[in-house]
């Protein structure tokens, strides 16, 4: 079946520190991979995506590379800011070619707190 | 371009009651998915609607039901509410099935 495993939080960093949040997945077929971010009291925002092996998704200084050999999609940022404090969710989509399903499977989320 | 909207923002219901949550999809999107996010957990897929038909369902009992309307807006109905139904309910819309854009959610509390 399909599942996503994220590193346990919370993660606490000082401003300008390097961030890594680990994500591994189990999937049948060829999933697309996503990182979503959730700020307090809000819904989910798509942060970045990758649709095939070796693709690198990037946005707002965050990056993640789709590694099929290690079934991983780790999120990284070189220099975090206080405004990056949020919960980060790794997710995969099981949409097969020709299918309209595309349900998302989420990890449990990782709380990031950045101190000034 | 208007994003995904949901109503109401918050709701308090008593065990055994019924509730209806509403979602307006983003302009140009014909697919709506519903997710339940319990406190401290990742969202769990409830079901998806495509062109007014249910197009897949997660591991939720039949008392969770839905509708999609010709304008692609959607409702989630939950009957016989239980305490464990307390959660944030998220609606997401998409046009191709890959990128799902989420609304702000409805916080349901069952007492």
Question: Which residues of chain A does B4 touch, with a Cβ-Cβ cutoff of 8 Å?
Answer: 43
Contact B94 A102 (CB under 8 A): yes
Measured in whole angstroms, the distance separating CA B9 from the mean position of its chain's CA atoms is 12
Contact A105 B45 (CB under 8 A): yes
Contact B97 A42 (CB under 8 A): no
pLDDT in tens, A15-26: 999 999 999 999
**A80: CB partners within 8 A, 6+ apart:** A13, A15, A16, A17, A18, A19, A112, A114
Q: Does A45 touch chain B (CB under 8 A)?
A: yes
Q: Does B44 touch chain A (CB under 8 A)?
A: yes
Question: Which residues of chain A does B90 touch, with a Cβ-Cβ cutoff of 8 Å?
Answer: 43-44
Token readout for A41 is: 């009291």
pLDDT in tens, B22-65: 999 988 888 999 999 999 899 999 999 988 999 889 999 999 99
Dihedral angle, C-alpha B82, A110, A57, A33, nearest 10 °: -40
Token readout for B101 is: 């854009």
pLDDT confidence tier of residue B1, bands split at 50, 70 and 90: low
Statement: residue A99 has pLDDT above 80: no
Instruction: Return the number of other C-beta atoms located less than 10 Å from residue A111's C-beta.
Output: 15
Measured in whole angstroms, the distance separating CA A72 from the mean position of its chain's CA atoms is 10
Cis peptide before A115 (omega within 30 of 0): no
Burial degree of B41 (CB within 10 A; 0-12, 13-18, 19+):
middle
Q: Which of A73-82, A92-101, B24-33, B56-65 has the lowest mean pLDDT?
A: A92-101
- Looking at chain B, the whole-number percentage of residues with pLDDT higher than 90 is 80
Instruction: Tell me how close the Cα of A14 comes to any Cα of chain B, in angstroms.
Output: 23
Phi, psi of B16 (to 5 degrees): 95, -20
pLDDT confidence tier of residue A100, bands split at 50, 70 and 90: low
Question: Which residues of chain A does B42 touch, with a Cβ-Cβ cutoff of 8 Å?
Answer: 4, 89, 91, 106-109
Statement: residue A96 has pLDDT above 70: no
Q: How many CB pairs under 8 A join A and B?
A: 71
């Amino acid at each position: 079946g399909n599942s996503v495993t994220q590193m346990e939080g919370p993660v606490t960093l000082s401003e300008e520190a390097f961030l890594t949040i680990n994500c591994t997945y189990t999937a049948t077929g060829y999933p697309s991979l996503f990182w979503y971010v959730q700020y307090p009291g809000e819904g989910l925002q798509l942060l970045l995506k990758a649709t095939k092996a070796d693709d690198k998704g990037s946005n707002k200084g965050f990056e993640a590379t789709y590694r099929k050999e290690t079934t991983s999609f780790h999120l990284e940022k070189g220099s975090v800011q206080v405004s990056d404090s949020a919960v980060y969710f790794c997710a995969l989509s099981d949409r097969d070619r020709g299918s309209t399903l595309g349900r998302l499977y989420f990890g449990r989320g990782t709380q990031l707190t950045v101190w000034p | 371009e208007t994003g995904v909207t949901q109503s109401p923002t918050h709701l308090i219901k008593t065990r055994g009651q019924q509730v209806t949550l509403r979602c307006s999809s983003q302009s140009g999107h014909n697919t709506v998915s519903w997710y339940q996010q319990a406190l401290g957990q990742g969202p769990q897929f409830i079901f998806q609607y495509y062109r007014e038909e249910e197009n897949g369902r997660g591991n939720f009992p039949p008392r969770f039901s839905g509708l999609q309307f010709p304008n692609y807006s959607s409702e989630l109905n939950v009957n016989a509410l239980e305490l464990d139904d307390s959660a944030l309910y998220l609606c997401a819309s998409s046009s191709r099935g890959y990128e799902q854009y989420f609304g702000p959610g409805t916080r349901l509390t069952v007492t």
